[in-house]
Structures are given as C-alpha cells and as structure tokens.
Chains A and B, each alone.
Chain A
Amino acid sequence: MARRHLPPTRALAGVLAGGLAAWLLAGCTSDSPPRTAATVSSAPARPAPAGTDAPGPGPTGTAAPAPPGIPVRDATAPAPTPAPAPVRLAVPSQDIDMAVVPVGVEDDGSMQIPADADEAGWYRYGPAPGDDEGNALLAAHVDSRQTGIGPFAALRDVEVGADVRVTTADGTTHEYRVTRVEKIAKDQAPLDLWFARTGPPLLRLVTCGGAWHADVGHYADNVVVTAEPTGG
C-alpha cells in the first residue's frame, strides 16, 4: 500500500472501514438483505483520507461497489466433500487401459507408486481429473519387482494428439488430448509444474525412462505425457 505517508491510524482506519464494510456486505447479503441495509446505513461514514487512490472506504452509507467479499461462515459446519477420484485410465493408441488407485507420499518424500505396474497411482493430495484448476498427476512403474514391465512402458511412444480418457468414481469420463511427450532428467524435473494445484487443468502421466542406475536402483529420467481437456 502506498499510504505510508498518511497518519497511520487514519490510513488504517480508512482501509478497515472500507474493507470491513465490504466484509459486512458480503457476509450479510446472502442470508438477510434487510439487516444488511440497516447495517450499512448505520455504519458511521468517514471520508476517504485525502490524496489516496487506494481502495479506500468511500461513503459507507451506500451499498455500492464492494471489494472482493470477505467470507463469514459458520465455523462449526462440516467440511466440504472432495472431487471424485479417478479409477480408470485409457490411452487407446497404446492399448493402455488400467486401474487407477489413490496414492500419497513415501517416507523419503517421493511420490508413492503402486507396486503393481498394471496400476497407476493418482496423487491424491493434488487436483483430480475434472477439477477446474491444476494438474491431475497419474504415475505408474515402468517396471516393477512385483509384476515386471507395465503399460506405462508405452508412454514414451505416445504421440502428440493422442486421446486419453480418465474415468472418475462417479462414472464420469474425462477426455484429454496429448500436447507434449517429454523425457527429462530427474535432477531437472520441474516437480512444481507437474504437481501444480493452480493454473490450467492438465493431466500428467509420469513414469521412468532413460538409463538404469543400478547403484541406486532408479532410472535416470522421467517420461511425462501432458494432456489437456478436450472439453468434450
């Protein structure tokens, strides 16, 4: 805020009056309009501090433009229910059609991956397919001690433009189209992008590839297929 030259008390009071008047409006209009009107008209009006172009209070006696609402909610209410989890993944062009299970994090901080390479793990703390924002991330072993080579061995052969379908537990099928297929050294993996919880809704399919480092028991690279919703 560029208002530090103002007497602090007054500047703060102004901001508060404006912000909190909006808060009142936002908090009350939804359930009790008559009370809101009374509230607003009874609020003592205070002129905006001179020389400010910040979102000041303005006349509090008018109901007009409220800054973004400040919620007032019942703190004793139950939490909202999360989006349905993905249960099935299909990439028809590579004959991939596999179960999806929710997974979390290993003790070492890496993503948990189903021991069965025929199952993909959905990072359950991140966005789900169908969420408005962020990346739904599904990963599966390219090969596993339990089941050998899995369907995600074919991720490296997926072509841009290929169709991907994810079915969620509510029976909805979410359609995607592949936009990128990449192989990236793990030490340069942009995990913050792959696991992003905001930004455009994308699907990320992740497995391993590249050279095998027998000394540590890991592949050198990640193979990542990125797909965007087709809107269909």
Chain B
Amino acid sequence: MRTRLLATAGALGLATVALTAGPASAADEAQLSVLHGVPGLTVDVWVNGERTLDDFEPGELAGPLDLPAGTYTVAITAADAADDSAPAIGPVDLTLEASTSYTAVAHLDASGDPTATLFTNDTSTTKPGEGRLTVRHVAAAPGVDVLAGTDAVITNLENPDEKVLNLPAGTVPASVVATGTTEPALLGPADVAVTEGTNTILYAWGDATADPSTLALATQVIEGLHSDPTAVQAGELGLVAESGSATVWPFALGGLVVLGAAALGFAGRRHAAATR
C-alpha cells in the first residue's frame, strides 16, 4: 500500500503512503505527528521554510498537529542552523490528505544514513475487544522478525517497512531478532501492551551496528478506535421471563421463579434469593 518517492536530494529516501481514509476526524484536516529516530543528533525541523521544531531530541514524539490537507515541504537541519539551506535530511514534500493520520519519522536507513519516512497510521475501527499493533522498522539494521514468545508473528520486516496486526487486547511478550533467528534478541523481550481500541505503534529505531548498539523502542498510541460490544446477553435460563408487552413489568414473578428453579434443581438458597 505504500509507494515510494525518491526525493531529489541524493541520499534521501522518502516513503510516502497511499491513502487509506481514516474514519471520523476533522473533515478537512490531516493529523501529523513527528518522531525523531536518529540517535545522537539534535535537530531543528523546518516546514515550508519555517523553523517549527527546535532542538528536537532523539526519541521524542511531537504532535499530533491538525493541519489542513495539502503538501508541506519539510527539511531537517542540525540544531540551531540559521536556515534550512543545508538540511541533513530533505527537503521532501509530504502530501497529507484530509481525515488521515500520519507520522513522519526522521531515522536511519538500513545502511545508517539519515532519511525520513512518512507513514500513514491505520485509524480504522477495531473490533470489540481488539487492539492494533503496528511495528515499524526504522533502524540501521537488517531485516528482523518479531517474536511473540517463541513464535514469529512478523517475519523479515525491513527498513522502512511496517506490519499491522489486529489482536485480542492483552499483553504480548515480544522480542525482535535478526530475521530467521530466535536469538540473540536485538530488542526485548519486553511485554507489549495491545490496548483495546488503540493502535499501538512500535518503532524499532537506532543503530544496530553502533558499539554499543543504540537500538531502542519508541511507542506512539492512537486511541479512540474502539467499537462497542454488539449485545449484552445477560440471562441463560428464562427463569424470570415476562410475557406480554415490553412496557409491562412483572407481578407474579415469585411463583414462576420457584417453579422454574425447582424444575432445574437449584439449591434452596437460590430460591430464597430470587423470591424474597
């Protein structure tokens, strides 16, 4: 679902994402977050020539910012640059569609060069009781597998790709390993919360070739994607059923309850509780 655009500025690979319309959000606006995933480099972020994030530190996540849909030119410079004429990353054009959530990530490519990737966040509604886990590889590292326990739930994820999983809410003991292996863990094991109604986006960022490794995890959460249970089915026997119109409350419950319960052989204390 992603098309890749190579920016004119040499080493830069910018991936932009074809749009999957998100549900309900401000009709004309896009939501943009920015993650800094380049180790050891404090930067300024310039948008359309304006310094918009100053002294942005590795591991920091900024946003979300509601922006009118449109195309924005983004450049990333060393901190406190006088202007954006000598960017370390970019300039790149980010096209943001209305009602869509994005995260722009400044990170290293697989070979360790700074780059930037625009991801589209999946904000579609989750099923009742489920959460969404998105894993993004933005580290200077080869392809990885993500293990849940000892099972590979994601295989050969490469920089700058992502994988989206919809899972029952709960906790997944996850670790990241070089693809095709089970150890050593490059990251983890760590308990990853799959939160109901939330897209939990995990970024593996940093540099696996650094000594010591600067690989790390960053987390972004997008909440409010939940859907409600489809029903509340809170009775199994019909022992306290009422006949007739739904607007009429029962009056002769006691006899009905005793008969029904006796027929089914419930203990005496249940009768007492129900008929008092």
Q: Give A80 Cβ to nearest chain B Cβ, in Å.
A: 10
Contacting residues, chain A, for B67 (C-beta < 8 A): 12, 15-16, 19
Interface contact B62-A113, CB-CB below 8 Å: no
Interface contact A105-B229, CB-CB below 8 Å: yes
A185 to B71: give the CA distance in the assembly, Å: 50
Task: Point out which of B49, B129, B249 has the most chain A C-beta atoms below 10 A from its C-beta.
Answer: B129
Does residue B267 face the partner (Cβ distance < 8 Å to A)? yes
Interface contact A12-B230, CB-CB below 8 Å: no
Interface residues of B in 229-275 (CB under 8 A from A): 229-244, 246-247, 249-250, 253, 257, 261, 264, 266-267, 270, 273-274
Q: Mark B215-234, 1 if CB is under 8 A from A, else 0.
A: 01111110010101111111
Contacting residues, chain A, for B21 (C-beta < 8 A): none
Q: Give B216 Cβ to nearest chain A Cβ, in Å.
A: 6
Given contacts A8-B70, A156-B249, contact A75 B35 (CB under 8 A): yes
Other-chain residue from A1, A17, A123, A141 in contact with B28 (beta carbon distance below 8 A): A1
Interface contact A16-B47, CB-CB below 8 Å: yes
Interface contact B129-A185, CB-CB below 8 Å: no
Interface contact A192-B48, CB-CB below 8 Å: no
Pick the interface stretch among B10-18, B52-60, B173-181. B52-60
Given contacts A15-B68, A44-B51, A189-B231, contact A153 B63 (CB under 8 A): no
CB-nearest residue of chain A relative to B269? A148
CB-nearest residue of chain B relative to A76? B59
Interface residues on A, range: 35 or more
Does residue B197 face the partner (Cβ distance < 8 Å to A)? yes
The size of the chain B interface, using a CB distance under 8 A, is: 74
Does residue A209 face the partner (Cβ distance < 8 Å to B)? yes
Contacting residues, chain B, for A222 (C-beta < 8 A): 232, 234
CB-nearest residue of chain B relative to A146? B236
Given contacts A16-B52, A104-B129, A185-B246, contact A206 B232 (CB under 8 A): yes
Given contacts A12-B48, A70-B62, contact A143 B231 (CB under 8 A): no
Q: Give A70 Cβ to nearest chain B Cβ, in Å.
A: 5
Task: Point out which of B59, B231, B276 has the most chain A C-beta atoms below 10 A from its C-beta.
Answer: B231
Interface contact A27-B62, CB-CB below 8 Å: yes
- The A-B contact count (CB < 8 A) is 229
Interface contact A12-B240, CB-CB below 8 Å: no
Contacting residues, chain A, for B218 (C-beta < 8 A): 75-76
Interface contact A72-B231, CB-CB below 8 Å: no
Interface residues of A in 171-186 (CB under 8 A from B): 183-186
Interface contact A24-B50, CB-CB below 8 Å: no
Other-chain residue from B49, B169, B217, B235 in contact with A141 (beta carbon distance below 8 A): B235
CB-nearest residue of chain B relative to A140? B234
Interface residues of A in 7-58 (CB under 8 A from B): 8-9, 11-13, 15-17, 19-21, 23-24, 27-28, 35, 39, 42-44, 46
Does residue B157 face the partner (Cβ distance < 8 Å to A)? no
Interface contact A210-B48, CB-CB below 8 Å: no
Q: Give B221 Cβ to nearest chain A Cβ, in Å.
A: 7
A148 to B273: give the CA distance in the assembly, Å: 10
CB-nearest residue of chain B relative to A183? B246
Does residue A92 face the partner (Cβ distance < 8 Å to B)? no
A11 to B71: give the CA distance in the assembly, Å: 11
Contacting residues, chain B, for A104 (C-beta < 8 A): 129, 169, 196
A84 to B235: give the CA distance in the assembly, Å: 28
CB-nearest residue of chain A relative to B35? A75
Given contacts A12-B48, A222-B234, contact A23 B62 (CB under 8 A): yes
Given contacts A39-B54, A75-B61, A104-B169, contact A143 B232 (CB under 8 A): no
CB-nearest residue of chain B relative to A39? B54
Contacting residues, chain A, for B267 (C-beta < 8 A): 148
Contacting residues, chain A, for B239 (C-beta < 8 A): 142-143, 148-149
A145 to B233: give the CA distance in the assembly, Å: 13
Interface contact A12-B72, CB-CB below 8 Å: yes
Interface contact B50-A13, CB-CB below 8 Å: yes
Q: Mark A73-95, 1 if CB is under 8 A from B, else 0.
A: 11110010000000000000001
A-B contact pairs, 9 of them (CB 8 A): A23-B52, A23-B53, A74-B59, A76-B216, A110-B229, A148-B264, A153-B240, A195-B229, A220-B246
Where the two chains meet, the residues of B that have a C-beta atom closer than 8 Å to any C-beta of A are 28-29, 35, 47-56, 59-68, 70-72, 127-129, 169, 193, 195-197, 203, 216-221, 224, 226, 228-244, 246-247, 249-250, 253, 257, 261, 264, 266-267, 270, 273-274, 276
Further 12 A-B residue pairs, CB within 8 A, beyond A113-B232, A125-B197? A12-B68, A16-B50, A24-B54, A27-B62, A108-B230, A125-B169, A125-B196, A140-B234, A142-B234, A145-B237, A147-B266, A189-B232
